[in-house]
Structure 1
């Protein structure tokens, strides 16, 4: 950690403690974590077939059910997701906070089964899914819920014999990510979306024929202060914390989702939970 980062975090942590000891504690603990931003973005490219024009994708991430995020809240979230009328659903990891201690039952499967999308529901592992011996538990739940796992592999989404590619890698922190293997056999001329839990992996993705990387993991920092920004993000979410990032090659865009739940500390401040809705646009000019 360099001196600038150390000072930023030290001053920010002090201000956070002072603020949360006053009136903002209630807001950060009880109000903002229950709020939700529905962030809209347009994905435009000449590689997107005309039949995909207006195709809607919803991404949600980092629910961390069980750590100050209840199954009832998750049920409400699913209703909001379905209200977007998605064509495709993408979950970018960290379903529950501690798989090895979570009280698994059929309710979470029933709620996940309610999510509807004509062209499928896909997911990738996050570090909390692998952590705590949760790898097989989480996979079983997602399988039963109708979600397809992308773990160093890809699929194609087809409309009228036109295609886009959807790829996913294993978790960077606790898995064995292999983007080369993920894209084996994929047509590099097709519009390609990659799911990668950790956003900083984009520095590797930029060297592959990928158009968009969708990530989570950072929680947007959870606590953000004016003039200071986020105070802490986990490993592999230090460079890209939230929002859209465009890389120098002009070909890759990265979107970092702030996630739904909280982890480590049960607070959100100036960093509301978020789902993303992406609308594809066929753009012959691009």
Structure 2
């Protein structure tokens, strides 16, 4: 469901009031402690369509770093160290590298840090709405390419191992890009195991009409601020229905939403720790 500007601002105000209603210690926690409490989510992806050569292959997803908005290069460097500790075979970035491309100082440190991420089967990324915003489209493509990442913009790549393949697809950003579901997913082999990257999670209700097994998204920040009994207080457009965690969308499609790394609009996290995700493929053959 697409939020109107008025309803979105209303939610923003409610979340701000929630923060202001916390004790001083609670405010300090939400502002300085929890945003730095990086966590790891681990998932097993078990399926008969996963080739045996991909058994125990490890995929790491990270999302929504929002560099420049209370998230520094030093913090980014620590994130890269944590991801490399997992020894991933594939690394996926699902959008929003920086918060405001038009104001961000793109130093050579960013491609250098991205190049430190190691994944023998490839590093891939998609645009988020902040990547396209602020005239950032070409700049982000250049930075990510120099960092060793392959852009998936309405296209499908085959990842090969020992002569067998799985599909990795990516859509352009839903809000500020030009996503092409039919052109990208319409000709997929229905028997092939397919993972789709798309920044906004709510598009899963359309993706379910195509032969996709897993959709990986970000964008929502998991709601960023969660107030007991009220739930997630900050849900941007196209992340209002599906906000966090795992969702069975159809008999075939499962959606996983990352809470992301950084923050946006407000530098707070409350009951919504930042995370990256580790997916281990399990072949049933």
CA distance in 2, matches of 1:161, 1:96: 37
Q: Match for residue 214 of structure 1?
A: 216
Q: Match for residue 193 of structure 2?
A: 191
CA distance in 2, matches of 1:162, 1:6: 49
Aligned residue among 148, 151, 156 for 1:149: 151
- The list of structure 1 runs, each at least 4 consecutive aligned residues, that deviate by more than 4 angstroms after superposition, is 5-13
- When structure 1 is superposed on structure 2, of 261-270 and 22-31 the one drifting more is 22-31
Aligned residue among 240, 243, 258 for 1:241: 243
CA distance in 2, matches of 1:138, 1:71: 16
3-state SS of 1:266 partner: coil
Alignment of 1:130-209 (within 5 A): 130-183=132-185, 185-209=187-211
Deviation of 1:185 after TM superposition, in Å, equals 4.8
Deviation of 1:23 after TM superposition, in Å, equals 1.6
Deviation of 1:187 after TM superposition, in Å, equals 2.2
TM-score (norm 1): 0.94
3-state SS of 1:23 partner: helix
Q: Match for residue 48 of structure 2?
A: 46
Q: Match for residue 17 of structure 1?
A: 20
CA distance in 2, matches of 1:211, 1:165: 10
On the 8 A contact 2:43/2:279 being kept in 1, the answer is yes
Deviation of 1:179 after TM superposition, in Å, equals 1.8
TM-score (norm 2): 0.94
How many pairs align?
A: 281
> Which ranges of structure 1 fall in alignment gaps of 5 or more residues?
none
> Which ranges of structure 2 fall in alignment gaps of 5 or more residues?
none
Q: Flag the 1:209–1:68 CA change in 2: closer, same or farther, 3 A.
A: same
CA distance in 1, matches of 2:98, 2:188: 32
